[in-house]
Structure 1
Amino acid sequence: MEAQVIDRDDQDIGVEVDDNNGVEHRILVSYDGDISGHSQDGYPDDPERRSTSEQETIFHARRYAKYYVAQETEYDTIPWDLNPGRFETVRDALAALTADELDDYFGDLFAQSLSHYADDPDVDTGGTERPYELPTDKIGPDGAVLYEQEIYLDESDDIEAVSGVIVEYYVAKGERTTVRHDEAPVPDRDSDARIEISPAPFVDLKPFRDYLVYNLRCQIRDCYVGMGLEPPAAYKVLGPGQYRFTGKYQHFECYPAYFDVNADIPGYSHEFAPELPISDAELGGLVDLGSERSLYSQLKGALFSR
């Protein structure tokens, strides 16, 4: 993707974007980030006549135009949920939390996730109770939910507040709904990031924190992919990021399976490396550097028991 500013007036900035297929787009980006005009000659004008790949390329061009304007001008035109730089700042703030701060901000999310393993003999839940009952209209197995929390930073880029636990689930095939458990006030503005996780059997807050940090790293990958860009090397990682992109990776042939930790995608790897609740001596007895198994596969037993 390549772009340049070609015009501006008191409401919009005109951007010329050459997409990865060599098609030229002329896109008007308003100063508040809306797309107020878009023309191109490489794809059908009627969205119903476009292939999935063509439709995704249209989205790439629009997202990249917003990103380019935000990078090259003083206007904040990139949506909060596609802002890789801001997500990285949130990752740093999240990674720096103490155990007590983790419990204050994400204790309910941690317990809600772990509660799904109460009957698993291989996971020591320590009697963890589920903070919120699952919705009665949810379909599918117990673990067929997506948990989220929104994170807000202060002027010093430290965590100021988090939302309550948000639960997304299916009520019918293809039909999702959301329940929010907001117990504390949050700033009246867009969040700086939103973590999105499926239930995972972590029994210690520190590796759980690292799980959340890695989710944001995968979301940064999704930000770049969603703009038609190859992510920087630090974000060529495998694993679930934003659910909306995971769905595209699963169902659209134009995308590799970035969400799959076992996917074979050149240049990409699964790099989740949590802090372990065990000593260095114990760690040495668990890891075989000559093994073909991933480090995570060798250590995951230590993550899920106390």
Structure 2
Amino acid sequence: MESTITGEDEVAVGLSVIDNNDIEHLIEMEFDGDIYHHCCDEYENNPALRTREDGEHVDQARRYARWHVYRERGYDTVPPTENPDRLMAALLGIAMLSNAAFEEHFGDLEERLHRHYDGSSVDLPFPDADPDDAIVYQKDVYLEPNPVEFEPPVLEQFLGRFEGDADSPALADGEISLADMDALAFEIAAVSGIHTLHNDGQGTEQVDYGEQPLDREPDARVEVMAFDPASVDSFQHYLVSHLAYQIRDRFLLMGVKPPVPFRAQGWGTYKGFQCQRFCSLYDEYWSSEATIQSWEPW
């Protein structure tokens, strides 16, 4: 992916994006990331007439354009829970929690997951849902200070501290070194109630949203497919790894190879899972058992 800012005025930015098919997209967006113009001669204008792969190339170009404007101009153009800098901040904030603080913020999520596997009755907010269907539990995370007000950006500062094997992921087991991280100290200001997403496997999705504690957009969203938390040594480490996999997915969905520390397999985003499962541009990075041919999305 390549992108060049072609113009800017007091309300909008224009870009030329070259996707991984070497096809140009001309995009114009407002400073909040709203894309009001997208021209590309090589793909069908009507999304319904595009192949799955062509549609994904179009979506990659839009995601990458927002990321490029955010990083080059500083405008908050990336949807908050899709921004790798915010995700990195949430990862660090959760990793730094004491056992008691982690239990306070995420104990209800761990308990909800346990109910699927300990013989308890699974109480879903949908009358037509089966506990054996695809169930994703989500929890929004609000941080202090603001992760997008750092220079250099949060993710770049973290990568600058990464001293592991250049060919190995840094965060695959949820264990990270917090030494020398004072400049990247984030507190969990609040978390939401639990959201429940149900997919019946036939193309129908429904979401029940929990309470939102603050009147602003969250910085990150934990979203885990129902699994037995007793299968992992530490649920806190699991969530840290999960956010690392989310960072991986956000780069892949921009058509970009993830930074080396995030090239690891495991459950990241629900959107990433859908794309990796059903679009040939991606390997199944969400699965720890899949054979990965390349970390380069096409």
Q: TM-score, normalised by structure 1?
A: 0.78
Alignment of 1:24-63 (within 5 A): 24-63=24-63
Within the alignment, does 1:195 sit opposite 2:185 as a pair?
A: no
Quote the Cα distance in structure 2 between the aligned partners of 1:172 and 1:85: 32
What corresponds to 1:274 in structure 2? none
CA 1:201/1:13 → structure 2, altered by over 3 Å: closer, same or farther? Answer: same
Quote the Cα distance in structure 2 between the aligned partners of 1:36 and 1:190: 22
Within the alignment, does 1:13 sit opposite 2:13 as a pair?
A: yes
SS in 1 for 2:234: helix
Shift of residue 135 of structure 1?
A: 2.9
What corresponds to 1:168 in structure 2? 197
CA 1:173/1:143 → structure 2, altered by over 3 Å: closer, same or farther? Answer: closer
Quote the Cα distance in structure 1 between the aligned partners of 2:231 and 2:39: 52
Contact 1:138–1:169 (CA under 8 A) maintained in structure 2? no
Shift of residue 49 of structure 1?
A: 2.7
Contact 2:133–2:200 (CA under 8 A) maintained in structure 1? no
What corresponds to 2:207 in structure 1? 178
Within the alignment, does 1:229 sit opposite 2:256 as a pair?
A: yes
Structure 1 gaps of 5+ residues are: 120-128, 269-306
CA 1:23/1:267 → structure 2, altered by over 3 Å: closer, same or farther? Answer: closer
What corresponds to 1:282 in structure 2? none
What corresponds to 1:219 in structure 2? 246
What corresponds to 2:279 in structure 1? 252
Alignment of 1:97-116 (within 5 A): 97-116=97-116
Shift of residue 32 of structure 1?
A: 1.2
Coordinate RMSD, CA, aligned: 2.2
SS in 2 for 1:116: coil
Contact 2:60–2:255 (CA under 8 A) maintained in structure 1? yes
Shift of residue 267 of structure 1?
A: 6.0
Give deviations 1:151-208, integer Å, cap 9, x for gaps: 00022621000001111114683222122343xx622111100001123323499710
Shift of residue 136 of structure 1?
A: 5.1
Letter paired with 1:213: V
Q: How many equivalent residue pairs?
A: 256
Match of residue 290, structure 2, among 257, 263, 275: 263
Quote the Cα distance in structure 1 between the aligned partners of 2:132 and 2:39: 46
Letter paired with 1:255: Y
**Superposition misfits of 4+ residues, deviation over 6 angstroms:** none
SS in 1 for 2:115: helix
Shift of residue 26 of structure 1?
A: 1.2
Contact 1:67–1:78 (CA under 8 A) maintained in structure 2? yes
Shift of residue 44 of structure 1?
A: 2.3
Bigger relative contact order (CA 8 A; separation at least 6): 2
Letter paired with 2:141: I
Within the alignment, does 1:207 sit opposite 2:234 as a pair?
A: yes
Quote the Cα distance in structure 1 between the aligned partners of 2:231 and 2:273: 27
What corresponds to 1:150 in structure 2? 140
Quote the Cα distance in structure 2 between the aligned partners of 1:211 and 1:196: 12
Letter paired with 2:246: Q
What corresponds to 1:300 in structure 2? none
Larger of the two Rg values belongs to structure: 1
Structure 2 gaps of 5+ residues are: 146-184
